[in-house]
Chains A and B, each alone.
Chain A
Amino acid sequence: MADTVISIKDAVVSYREDVALRGVSLDVIAGEFVGIIGPNGAGKTTLLTVVNGMGKLLSGRVTVLGDSLRSGNGRSLRKRVGYVAQVDNIDPRMPMDVREVVMIGRFGVLGLFRRPGKSDWQIVDEMLELVGMTHLARRPIGHLSGGEQQRVAIARCLVQEPELFLLDEPTASLDWKAQSEILELVKEIHNSRKLTTLFVTHDLDALPHTCDRVVLMKDGLIVDDGPPDQLISTSSLSQLYDLPESVVEARRPHMHVKE
């Protein structure tokens, strides 16, 4: 039987008065590529932060990579989970170059008091090559375009040598070309490194065709979960995004949606 690497049972997470997750349960098996879609505010990012130990559970149980998540063990878990967060504005004057930013991914694995050695820099250079950023390795990080910064974020995540690959809206605010290149890259990395991937997006155009499974979220709940061919239909999207079916139909040629 395949290994379950993520097991979430009745997770409830709340930020002040807003309940971000209202009793979510999800099991993910090793090697799966899961797309999590839903409108803004559905709880998708919160679900990822629960998996990497940064979200604080009000109730429920989360087991990730065999460890039950408690308040004290989030940090050790995060070293094994690669997380590509949503694009943040980077100060153009930030005194760090691309190579140094990618190296941050090794810091948790290295632990306190240990400096990066030759082998760590070698891993950084390999990952920069993998994401096609070797030519910009010495460029100040703030001088990159959105798509380039996202490639750096993916390289930073990979130098961690993670077992889980979490991506939060990795293609948001990117142009069409950068978006399709990042999707291609993520797909390739997932397959070649045999990772378990959770890919969050609110944009169906960005949903990788290769998802083994799609989870639909709305208002802090998982409303559906299954293979993309069965789930992503005009009627399910109409309900998910509160749009009339005619509007979903009109947009369909641009989306990977069956009738």
Chain B
Amino acid sequence: MDFSIFGYQFMQNAILSAFLGGIACATVGVFVVLMHMPFIGVTMSHAAFAGALLGLWVGFDPLIGAFAFSLVAAAIVGPLADRGELSPDTSLGIIFSLMLGVAFLFLGLMPGTKSSALELLWGSILTNTRGDIILLAVVAVVVVGLVVIFFKEIQATVFNRNIALSVGLPATIILYGVLFLTGATVTASLRSIGGLLIFSLILNPAAAAYQLTYSMKWMFILSAIFGVLSGWVGLLVSYLLDVPSGATIVITSSVIFIIATVFSPKRKVRHWKEESLADE
């Protein structure tokens, strides 16, 4: 088998992007899983996609559009999650479908070929530039850095926001910080992974780590490892089978989740509970 391709600059860029994007997405994913808000992430990634398309259509940097739209989505979904006023699933479903509608509207209005727009949909990690990598690196360092610095505040907030508030922690600021980081991570990874696929890379590694450990610290570490592994194995499979890399990365992350679920020590708890119920 010829692996000389890994000597090329574009492939090295892709490997580095998968490493940085994997860490950033998987770290943010831990919040998404522990705060039970997967729909928030889906909504924000589609908002980012819509914003990027607006940029492409009007003629400014798609990443600025993506970031602005994901912040707007955070500003709408944040209070919903915070106050719990409406059923979050219903209201997020409406915002999610609105963002998707807006995205396809921009796609339809865009003159000429849609190849650059479709790249944002499916992602193309193999065309990542030095600029993309720097952005991914900045986001990954900021995300990991904030988790390390504010670990105890984050730990308390994801355990129970009301308890965190009641001991005097700024839990509301932490919640909005998490939404902001999700928006930034989605934006930075949009070009590599794509608006439709990015969310799987956020959710799957963290959900896999969640199956394997009762330590939050280890959940962050395992999630990051699974995120990077998804990216690298996905890239390799994409090269070997000559299929789109965004798709193989996401499928790899799903396979990791399935394997983690099968081997989860937490399933034993359920078996034990089922057995004791059967005994009664």
Q: Is the CB of A83 within 8 A of B166?
A: yes
Stretch at the interface among A62-70, A89-97, A177-185, A225-233: A89-97
B277 interface residue per 8 A CB criterion: no
> Does the CB pair A78–B155 fall under 8 Å?
no
User: Is A76 in contact with B168, judged by CB distance below 8 angstroms?
Assistant: yes
B153/A160 in contact, CB under 8 A: no
Contacts of B162 in A (CB 8 A): 54, 85, 88
Complex Cα gap A93–B158 (Å): 13
Q: Are A94 and B153 in contact (CB under 8 A)?
A: no
Known: A104-B156, A116-B152. A95 touches B218 (CB 8 A): yes
Closest A residue, CB atoms, query B214: A140
Within A104-129, the residues touching B (CB, 8 Å) are 104-105, 107-110, 112-113, 115-116
| Chain B positions 183 through 214: 1 when the CB is less than 8 Å from some CB of chain A, otherwise 0 | 00000000000000000000000000011011
A107 touches B156 (CB 8 A): yes
A213 in contact (CB, < 8 A): no
Q: Which residue of A lies closest to B220 (CB)?
A: A95
| Chain A proximity mask over B125-161: 1 for CB below 8 Å, otherwise 0 | 0000000000000000000000001101101100110
B259 within 8 A of A: no
Residue of A nearest to B210 (CB): A93
Asked whether any CB of chain A lies closer than 8 Å to the CB of B105, the reply is no
The total number of A-B Cβ pairs within 8 Å is 82
Q: Which of A95, A96, A100, A115 has the most CB of B within 10 A?
A: A95
* In the bound complex, CA of A112 to CA of B167 (Å): 13
Q: Is B240 an interface residue (CB 8 A)?
A: no
Interchain CB contact under 8 A, A104 and B163: yes
B164 within 8 A of A: yes
Q: Chain B: which residue is nearest A110 at the CB level?
A: B152
Q: Check: A52 CB closer than 8 A to any chain B CB.
A: yes
B167:A105 contact, CB within 8 angstroms: yes
Q: Does any Cβ of A come within 8 Å of B165's Cβ?
A: yes
B170 contacts A by Cβ under 8 Å:
yes
Check A78–B166 contact: CB distance below 8 A: yes
In the complex, the answer to whether A85 meets B166 with C-beta atoms within 8 Å is yes
B113 interface residue, CB < 8 Å from A? no
How distant is the Cα of A85 from the Cα of B167 in the complex, in angstroms?
A: 11
Are B159 and A94 closer than 8 Å at their CB atoms?
Answer: yes
CA distance A246 to B215 in the complex (A): 54
A79–B167 CA distance with the chains assembled, in angstroms: 5
Contact of B216 among A91, A95, A109 (CB under 8 A): A95
> Closest residue to B150 on the A side, CB-wise?
A112
Residue numbers in A under 8 Å from B266 (CB-CB)? 92-93
A104:B159 contact, CB within 8 angstroms:
yes
Contact yes or no, A107 B166, CB < 8 A: no
A96–B219 Cα distance when bound, in Å, is 10
* B116 shortest CB reach to chain A, Å: 41
Query: Is residue B169 within 8 Å, beta carbon to beta carbon, of the partner chain?
Result: yes
Known contacts being A54-B165, A76-B168, A83-B166, is A92 close to B269, with CB within 8 Å? yes
Distance in Å: Cβ of A251 to nearest Cβ of chain B: 31
> What 0/1 readout, one digit per residue, does chain B (65-105) give for beta carbons within 8 Å of chain A?
00000000000000000000000000000000000000000
- Inter-subunit contact A97/B152 (CB<8 Å): no
Partner of B166, one of A54, A95, A143: A54
Task: Report if A258 contacts B (CB, 8 A).
Answer: no
Contact B214 A97 (CB under 8 A): yes
Mask: chain A, 140-172; 1 = CB below 8 Å from B; 0 = not: 110100000000000010001000000000000
- CB B190 to nearest CB in A, in angstroms, measures 29
Q: Report the bound CA distance from A116 to B269 in whole Å.
A: 30
Name the residue of chain B whose CB is nearest to the CB of A84: B166
Q: Which residues does chain B contribute within 8 Å of A77, judged by CB atoms?
A: 168
What separation, in Å, do the CA atoms of A93 and B150 have in the docked complex? Answer: 22
**A211 near B: Cβ within 8 Å?**
no
Closest to A48 in B: B166
Q: List the B side residues contacting A193 at CB < 8 Å.
A: none
CB pair A95 B210 closer than 8 Å: yes
| Residue interface mask B25-45, A partner, CB < 8 A = 1 | 000000000101000000000
- A247 and B39 CA atoms in complex are apart in Å by 49
* CB atoms of B169 and A88 under 8 A apart: no
B273 → A minimal CB distance (Å): 9
Which positions 247-280 of chain B face chain A at CB distance < 8 Å?
266, 269
Q: Which residues of B contact A110 (CB under 8 A)?
A: 152
- Using an 8 Å CB-CB cutoff, how does the interface string of A170-210 with B read, 1 for contact, 0 for none? 00000000000000000000000000000000000000000
When distances are taken between beta carbons in the complex, the residues of chain B under 8 Å from A112 are: 150, 153
Top 7 closest pairs, chain A to chain B, by CB: A108-B168, A79-B168, A108-B167, A78-B168, A83-B166, A140-B214, A104-B156
